[in-house]
Each structure stands twice: as structure tokens, then as C-alpha cells.
Amino acid sequence: MPIFRIKEAANLLGVSTDTLRRWADGGRIETTTDEAGRLAVDGVELARFAQDLAAGAHHDEGAVVVAHSVRNRFSGLVCRVTRDTVMAQVEIQAGPHRFVSLLSREAADELGLEPGMLAVAAVKATNVSVEIPKLS
């Protein structure tokens, strides 16, 4: 299962590395170490935490949209993959945004989608596709 260095995890959560370190020190999120001994967060733990964080966020329902794009890409974490014989449902938590994509099971299997993975929800009209970015 993938693990994310503190800087990567903080970027995915939309917070500073200092904030994430404070949350870890306070026991709010569980950390581990990577193969080089650096502080990191397990992908599954990060996905769970991103969902909890988003659930507690207060959104301004009265906000006025001043601009938008037909091409929107949201980097986030796969939180759940539900497969049946033909189709798969993939949930991605990208900051406060939750995206659900329905795709063929074959596509989900080819992408190797599992909870805790970094993925991109690419949204156009009513379709959400899932991409796997190359990690640096």
C-alpha cells in the first residue's frame, strides 16, 4: 500500500506541513516512516482522515461562483472501491470534495485501484474518469 511523505500528504489535504505535523503530534492522524526513515502517512489512513476532515468542513452554501471550467481535475485519495462482476464504483476524496466514478470492473482492475492510492478525478459534464498520476 502506498505511503505519502508529510509534504505530499499535506498537499493532498490542502494544509501546510506544519499543520499536518501538529495534527500528528496531537494524535489526530497516525503516522509511520518510509523506507528512508522519514515521517510519512499510510495511504489508507490518509484517505480515512481526508474523509473525516471533509465531513467536518463547513461549506458556504450561499457562495457565488465567479468562474468555472469545463475541464476540472481534482487530485485526491481513493477511499473506497466496490467491484461486482461487470462494474466498479470508485470514491475519491479530494480535499473537501468527494467524487464517485462508475467504471467497468476491467478498467478499475487495470488501474489497480485500491483505497489509499493517489488518483485524479477528471470531471467533464456528468462523467468522472479516474487517472493514476506518476509519483515523483
pLDDT exceeds cutoff 90 at 130: no
Domains and CATH numbers, the chain: 3-55 (1.10.1660.10), 72-131 (2.40.50.100)
pLDDT, tens digit, 9 for 90 and up, residues 9-29: 999 998 999 999 999 999 999
For residue 59, give the DSSP letter.
P
Q: Are 127 and 100 in contact (CB under 8 A)?
A: no
**What is the reported pLDDT for 67?**
55
Q: Give strand ranges (E) for the chain.
A: 3-5, 32-33, 39-42, 72-83, 87-94, 97-104, 118-124, 127-131
Residues 68-120 have pLDDT tens digits of 554 678 889 999 999 999 999 999 998 888 999 999 999 999 999 999 999 98
